[in-house]
Structure 1
């Protein structure tokens, strides 16, 4: 595939300059071995570098204060255990870009990257940041599943859950309860209901949902660092699919060109309740981003870097209008995901 990446040089320079450090979360050395390290069953993977709910709450409030009014922090609602579902917004432009992170509590690095995006956009006085925020408004659901995160589990916390997509005694899979046909007031999953109510009110032009998958390899044996997919539900407007593919190509180019990234197509389903499809059905260009699983203490640093740079590249392309110039047909050339690596998840 031809690789043209929007504003990548500027974004990469920013990532290097700030060291990707928010609230004490330091990134790995940029010379980390490409596509490594491999994580085995015996390896201890520390979660100390990740924000707990209380730490995240404190970091967001500090950022709101430091931003001097640029970052607006609010709660979209509360979980079964009473934790806030934090939402941060920055910018005043007409194009609305929404990031959603950590619907699954054990998929954490999109949240860490989003914090750094908010730090950059909320506190930098660089001219390019000011220009960007005149053209777009960036909203972030910062950790959609705070209860599940505290237990480092996929589901939310609802031991009384029943029916489809319920793990008995544990909770629901949030990312199956976004069907636009389901009224938020009737949604049994408070986290999904809060996100859907916000999407209906705010009507984002672009949404990107960050997750983790297991560890997979490409044809040459290198670890896939990111897999992506646009809406695949048959009722999504073709124009929305086209716009979504333009976002996909932007992410593909950015990650492929930075940090030894290896990008593949994610083999997702067409369920309307999946956020990627739901956002598309509601008229928003939409993309799922699945970061590599099996994260170790070194590999998490470069995965955060790649997620951050991809987020910033989409924001820049949406702001300067170059996103609409991307050839969407190139998305169909993104290589399929390779085989799963046992013991790496």
Structure 2
């Protein structure tokens, strides 16, 4: 584990995020206030994201390959970036919710590292793993900076009437892509069926929480909780959760907890577990504007990188899944000013 953490620490030094002076207080705010506007100028809008992805494809000499897996309701292409050609297949999904932006920025940094580095450990990852990254699953919602996709005709069970659907409620195994009213969820499902990844990791943001010691929760993880998920699938999902917990526990900028998720089968975490893949939800602190954005991007990058590395080296199998519920603490109380 020390070798893995040393490499990750070195790579974190080169993550391209703005320099912030994070306050030293506990619970280490600040967070976005209701009356405070979020500035998005330094983040990639849709056109900038497309340019960045195509640039990655060019500068990595084909190590990063792009595929359009579908279109949004406003006909924006939904991109999946592939890196590596190994037998161990993984799918990452970022920004199903349009206002949860930092994970997409982390994914761009990770793709740059995996695509451009000639470090022997990175080359080994490309040889051992095939990684498929759905980069910004919700481009329409991102442009509006809201949770849902964009569908003015929507009268959804999960979402907002006249605005759109909550994409992360429409992955149920019995909902085929042709039947799915949510094109973004249908595109993810089609890509899943095409590539049959062994792991699906879904990255989100949550509100602001603290643990019993008053430290800010930066990350929460959870595995499939639907009762019909097969035990071997649940076990490898818990192992993946332990990889992220163990990795982030080595860094002073991260505090990890269990996410208190539900059993609804339409949530990606449960749906892809029911379909037979190891599946993990990863939630990072959100609702913070740009004030702590650099730290969140680094945390997300570390989570993503640790999963690829542990799968490539098979160190993921060293974790005891039975320890996950005992080792990873439950999430604490919301902080005043958070969600």
Q: TM-score, normalising length from structure 1?
A: 0.94
Is the contact made by 1:6 and 1:254 (CA closer than 8 Å) also made in structure 2? no
- Which residue pairs with 1:12 in the alignment? 9
Instruction: Give the 3-state SS of the residue equivalent to 1:59 in structure 2.
Output: helix
Give 1:29 deviation, angstroms: 4.7
- Which residue pairs with 1:28 in the alignment? 19
- 1:117-156 CA distance string (max 9 Å, x none): 1000111111111111111111100000000000000000
Is 1:137 matched with 2:137? no
- Which residue pairs with 1:239 in the alignment? 232
CA 1:6–1:99 in structure 2 vs 1: closer, same or farther (change >3 Å)?
farther
Is the contact made by 2:156 and 2:164 (CA closer than 8 Å) also made in structure 1? no
Is the contact made by 2:233 and 2:276 (CA closer than 8 Å) also made in structure 1? yes
- 1:221-258 CA distance string (max 9 Å, x none): 11110111000011111000000000000101112222
- Aligned 1:53-92 pairs, distance under 5 A: 53-92=46-85
Which of 312, 316, 340 is the equivalent residue of 2:334? 340
Which of 19, 34, 38 is the equivalent residue of 2:30? 38
Is the contact made by 1:227 and 1:291 (CA closer than 8 Å) also made in structure 2? yes
Give 1:259 deviation, angstroms: 3.9
Is 1:116 matched with 2:109? yes
CA distance in 1, matches of 2:257, 2:156: 33
Give 1:113 deviation, angstroms: 0.5
CA distance in 2, matches of 1:258, 1:47: 27
CA distance in 2, matches of 1:32, 1:123: 33
Instruction: Give the 3-state SS of the residue equivalent to 1:252 in structure 2.
Output: helix
Size of the aligned set, in residue pairs, is 336
Which of 160, 163, 167 is the equivalent residue of 1:167? 160
Q: Which shows bigger deviation, 161-170 or 308-317?
A: 161-170
- 1:182-222 CA distance string (max 9 Å, x none): 11011000000000011112111111100011111110111
Is the contact made by 1:231 and 1:277 (CA closer than 8 Å) also made in structure 2? yes
Give 1:344 deviation, angstroms: 2.3
